[in-house]
Amino acid sequence: MLLETLQLMSLNIKHFKDECERKSMEFITLRFQRPAALKNYKEVENIINDCEQCLVAVLENLNEKSRGSEMHNKDRELRMSSDRLTNLKERFGQLEEENALLNKTLHATKQEKDEMQLSLRPLVQDKDREIEGIKNRLAHFQHSYGKLENENASLKTALEGNIQEKNELILRVKHIEEKNATIMDSFEKKCRENEDLKTRLSQVAGAKLMAGNTSIADLGDKYRPTRIAELYSELYDNEWTEAVDDLVSTKWSEDQIVRHLFIILQGCYKACCQLASQQMQDLVRKLFLDTSSSADVSLSSKDYMYSRTNRVCELKTVHVSSMEPLELRIQMYTIISTFSIN
C-alpha cells in the first residue's frame, strides 16, 4: 500500500514537472515570435502604402489599435501563465514537502520493519528448528509404524497358529477328560464295591470276635468307652474353653471362673451317676422283674451295652449339646441346688 502511494506521488511530481517545462517553452516561443510579427507588419504596411495611400491614416490607426489589443492579450496570457507557473511552483513545493514527509515515513517504516525482522528472527529460527524436529519425529514414527505393522502381521500369523493348536489341544483334553470320567466312574464303582466288601467282612469278623468275648470293643459302636472319653475331652477343649471366654467378657476373675466351672462339673458328674444308677435299676427291673432289688448286677449282654450308651448319648444331647452357654449354666446351677438340698 505504501509503495503504491509512493509510485502515485512520483507520477504526479513528474506530471507537474512536464507541465512546467511546457509552459516555459510556450513563454519562450511567444517572446521569439514577437519580432517576426513586427517585421511582417512593416512589410504589409509598405505594400498598403504603395497600393492605397488614401487609407494610410485609417490603416495606421487600425494597426495601432490592433497592435495594442494583441499586446494586451499577450500580456494577459503572460500574466495568466505567470500565475499558473506560480501556482505550479507552490504545488510543487507542497508536493516536495509531502514527498519529504513520505520519505521520512518510509524511512521510519523501513526501520520498524528491520527492527521487527531482527526481533522475529530468533522466533522464526526456533519455529524452524521445531518444524525440523517434528519432521524428524514424524519420520521416526513412520518408520516405527511400519516396523510395528510387520510385527503385528507376524504376531497375527503366530496367534492364528496358536489358536489352531489350542483348539486341537482342547479337543484332545476333552477326549482325555471323557476317558478319565469313564475311568473314574469305573474306579468309584470298584471302590464302592471294595468298601462294601470290607464293611461286610469287618462286620462278620467283628461278630465272630465279639461273640462271647466282652473284652473286645465294638469299633462300630459310636459310644464305646474310649469314644465317651474323647467326648469328655472335647467337652474340655470346646465347651469349657468357650465358657471361660464368655465369663472373661463379664469381667470375672480367673479364680471365680474356675471355681464355678468346677462346681458345674461336679454337678454334672453327680447327675451322670444318678442317671446311671437309675438306668441300672430300670434295666434290672426289666430283665428280672424284681423291683425291690437294688444290688449291682454284672451284665455281659451286648443289648445292655447298647442301652447304656444310648442313655448316655441322650444325656449329652439333652443337657449339653442343645443348650446355649447361659442356659447350660442355669441348668447346672439347678442340678447343684438339687444335690445340695438332698
Per-residue pLDDT tens for 146-164?
A: 899 999 999 999 999 999 9
Residue 166 forms part of a structural domain: no
pLDDT of residue 209: 64
Instruction: Judge residue 266's burial from the number of C-beta atoms within 10 Å of its C-beta, 0-12 exposed, 13-18 middle, 19 or more buried.
Output: middle
Element (H, E) at 167: helix 56-210
Q: How many domains does the chain divide into?
A: 2
pLDDT of residue 96: 80
Residue 105 forms part of a structural domain: yes
Residue range of the domain that includes 40: 2-137
pTM equals 0.25
Output the CA torsion 330→335→337→340 (10° steps): -160
Element (H, E) at 81: helix 56-210
Residue 72 forms part of a structural domain: yes
Q: At which of 137, 160, 179 does a domain end?
A: 137
Shared domain check, 324 and 229? yes
Q: What is the pLDDT of residues 12-38, one digit of tens each?
A: 666 656 766 666 666 566 555 555 555
What does DSSP assign to residue 235?
Answer: I
Q: How long is the chain?
A: 342
Coil, strand, or helix at residue 325?
helix
Residue 151 forms part of a structural domain: no
- Which whole-number Å values give the CA distances from 21 to 8, 15, 26, 29, 45, in the listed order? 20, 10, 9, 12, 37
pLDDT of residue 312: 41
pLDDT of residue 314: 43
pLDDT of residue 319: 39
Q: At which of 122, 137, 152 does a domain end?
A: 137
Residue 212 forms part of a structural domain: no
Residue 335 near residue 268 (C-beta atoms within 8 A): yes
Residue 225 forms part of a structural domain: yes
Instruction: Judge residue 50's burial from the number of C-beta atoms within 10 Å of its C-beta, 0-12 exposed, 13-18 middle, 19 or more buried.
Output: exposed
Residue 128 forms part of a structural domain: yes
pLDDT of residue 3: 57
Q: At which of 137, 169, 201 does a domain end?
A: 137
Q: Which residues of the chain have pLDDT under 70?
A: 1-10, 12-17, 19-69, 205-223, 235-236, 289-342
pLDDT of residue 159: 92
Residue 126 forms part of a structural domain: yes
